[in-house]
Each structure stands twice: as C-alpha cells, then as structure tokens.
Amino acid sequence: MTSVDHGADRAPAVSSGAAIGRALAAAVVMAIGLVASTEASVLLFGVDATAASGFGFRVLVASCVTVLVVGAVLLLRRRLDRRALASIGLTGLRSDASGFALGFGVLAASGVAVLLLLDLTNVIQLIALDPLQLLGFLATNTVVALLLEAIPEEFAIRGYALTNLRDAFPPAAAVVLNIATFLVVPVVVLAAQWLLAETRGVSDGMRFAPAGNDPIVYYTMLAAFGYLLICARDSTASATVWTCIGAHLGWLTMNRLVLGVEGVQFEMDELGMLLFFVGYASLSIIAFSWLRGRRTGAR
C-alpha cells in the first residue's frame, strides 16, 4: 500500500476496498447529479440542458449539477474521509487560477496546432467563419460546459476519486482504476435514464453509449481522455484539480468547434476527424507529461 502526498496533509492508511468504494461513490454522485438535475428541470420547467432550451435554462440545469455534485464531494471529503480539502486539489486561488489557465491553454494550443497542420495538408478545410457568432458560442459554451461537466466531473473523478485511489494503490494501478471509474459515469447515467423511461412506458431499450455513438469508439476515447486529465492533474507542483477543469473545458471547446457550431464550420472526412482527435489528445498528453517530468526532475 502506498500513500501519495499532493502538497497537502499526509494521507492516513486507506484500505483498497474503501478506496474503490469511495471512487465508485464519486462516479455515482456525478451521474445522479446530472440525471437528477435534468429530470427536475424537465418536470418543473419543461426544459433540459440542450441548446434548444435557451441559454438561461441551460445555465440553470448546469448550475444544479455543480451545486449537487460539488456539495456532495466536499461533504464526503470532510465528513467521511475527515481530510483537508486541499488534498483533493483545492490548493488556493493563485495556484488554482494558474492551473486552470495551463490546462485550458495546453488543450487549446494543441488543438489549434493540429488543426493548422491538417488544414495546410488539406486533410481538414475551414469553409465558414463568422467571428461574432464564434465569440458568442465561446462565451455561452464556456459557462455551460464548466457548470454542467468540467467542474463537477473533475471535482468528483480527478479530485475525490483519484486522491482516494492514490492513497491505497501504487501509481499505475491508481491510474487504471481512476480511468475505470470515469467510464462508470456514463454507464450509470444511461442506466438511470433507461429506468426512468421504463417507469413512464417510453423506453426504447437500454443503451450502452450515448445516442449516435459506437460503444467501442466512445469508451476508447473516454479512456484516453481520462488518462489525459490525470496527466493534467500531475503537471503542476500543487496538483490542483483546476488544471483538469481547464483541460476539460479546452477539450469540450475544441471538439465542438471542429464538429461544427454557429460561427465556424470545417469540412473533413472520418480519417480527418480521427487524425485531429488522436493528434491533439496525444500532443496534450505529451505536453502535460513533459511538465510533470520537468517538475519532478527539479526536485
């Protein structure tokens, strides 16, 4: 059993079973927070977090997710674990802000670099650009993406779950288990949505990936993204979870830009899309790993 100190209080001994249980609890909290917030908004206001609901309602749903998930994670850390919040990556305003900027910057820079390279080689072509519409998308996307996904998911998975796993397992095992924990989230979400649909008599059957996604491709990409976010957590001396939040926002932003949003359109085939995702994810992992190596080498 190993214990990793991320710049906060030294971790007491945690059994492997307890660590896995806490990690799974974090995944369930994230999934239920997302489903409960969406269902409550549909029942009370007839809206969800899709673009058709309008920006105000999307922020409402997303804010509920953040409040429920972050509140539950903080409660678990203080009441169940009886540990300082700094140990899950809440390291102070200055380090959190710089970590957020680093995480977002690495993903954005990697994405733009790969896009430019693919554009120069005619693998991907920019066919439409409206700067004002693009700025509008970036503003609204940032708010909703942070509150709906980036903040709650990183607090739960790379903050609470990863810290507990590292308190009980060797580094490599903790990484693998954390990625597995990340993959549990959509499974619980889809299962909960299926159960709710069954109770209403409108179920189309249980899905194993979001609509329109091949399960193998979806979970492979999610696993790679999970590893990228772990690398982001380790890239700074403070191990602030806000680096993961920034990277998560950067990932969502770049993906949506390439897939097509108001203000920008790209033309590409499946090979071009694959090259983009693999290229900028790999470049981001290399960048975060280099930062981690530079940090540990300087000790």
Within-domain flag for 70: yes
Instruction: Report helix, strand or coil for 48.
Output: coil
Stated as kind and residue range, the H or E segment containing 289 is: helix 270-297
Residue 80 has pLDDT above 60, yes or no: yes
How does the average pLDDT of the chain come out, rounded? 92
Look up the domain containing 232 and give its range.
Answer: 16-297
CA distance 49 to 28: 20
Q: What is the pLDDT of residue 13?
A: 72
| 255 domain-assigned | yes
Instruction: Please count the structural domains in the chain.
Output: 1
Mean pLDDT of 131-151: 96
Residue 147 or 46, more confident: 147
Q: Please spell the DSSP secondary structure of 155-187, one letter per residue.
A: IIIIIIIHHHHHHHS-HHHHHHHHHHHHHHHHH
Domain annotation covers residue 75: yes
Asked if residue 96 belongs to a domain, the reply is yes
pLDDT at 265: 94
Task: Assess whether pLDDT exceeds 60 at residue 7.
Answer: no
The answer to whether 20 and 161 have CB atoms below 8 angstroms apart is no
**Contact indicator for 269, 166 with CB cutoff of 8 Å:** no
Helix (H, G, I), strand (E, B) or coil at 47: coil
Domain contains 1: no
**Residue 11 in domain:** no
Q: Is the pLDDT of residue 205 over 90?
A: no
* Residue 252 covered by a domain: yes
